[in-house]
Amino acid sequence: MTLDTPKYNLNKYPEVYEPSEDTFLLLDALEADTSFLLNLKPKIAVEIGSGSGVIITGLASLLKNSCLYFSTDINPQACLATQNTARLNGAPIECINMDLLLGFKNRMFDIILFNPPYVVTDSEELSGSGLNRAWAGGTNGREIIDRLSCNISDMLTPEGICYLLLLKENNPQEVVSGMKGLGFDSELVLQRKIPGEFLYVYKFFRRK
């Protein structure tokens, strides 16, 4: 199945990250994993930091109405943009303004999608909730990624999957090693070299 980029319009949302090569790589990873995702038969999925809403809407176009779809973003404009993208594509997605998944209580997901803020920056750039939060990753570009990793066991169902996009400068093997220590195995789904960046999409799942 071909996964086309969902329709979106960010004209009213200047503080929202425009879909770019990282967005399209994660969409391509979902397309490459279509058979796996359909066989997983997920009941509930979420995207962290949904921005434009293109990725979670793409997942919804793959899985149709067999699944409940949520997304979160710390940027209120991004939540509005995600809802608009969902509406443009007829996707049933609820977007909630929150940091990571901290607003969910006792809720676990079958699929977590995360294209995190991964650019190496000073930690001070992590403040606020505007456009800079879409890309500023702090030390090694890993500060937000590591926050997720520490809590992911409480977020995923026993059969749950997390798709995580990483930059070469994030030291992906350190992330893989850290997740292994938490009881998760990994699989490299796709990788792509683009001007100025080398990107990877990993799939994490509980060790059997």
CATH of the domain at 96: 3.40.50.150
Residue 108 lies in a domain: yes
Q: Based on the structure, what is the number of domains in the chain?
A: 1
Residue 15 lies in a domain: no
Residue 4 lies in a domain: no
Percent of the chain past pLDDT 90, that is, above it, reads: 83
Distance in angstroms (rounded) separating the CA atoms of residues 149 and 47: 15
User: Side chain identity at 173, as an amino acid letter?
Assistant: Q
Residue 16 lies in a domain: no
Residue 6 lies in a domain: no
124 has a pLDDT exceeding 90: no
Residue 5 lies in a domain: no
Domain assignment of residue 139, given as a range? 21-206
Distance in angstroms (rounded) separating the CA atoms of residues 177 and 181: 6
Residue 9 lies in a domain: no
pTM of the model: 0.96
Residue 7 lies in a domain: no
pLDDT in tens, 24-33: 999 999 999 9
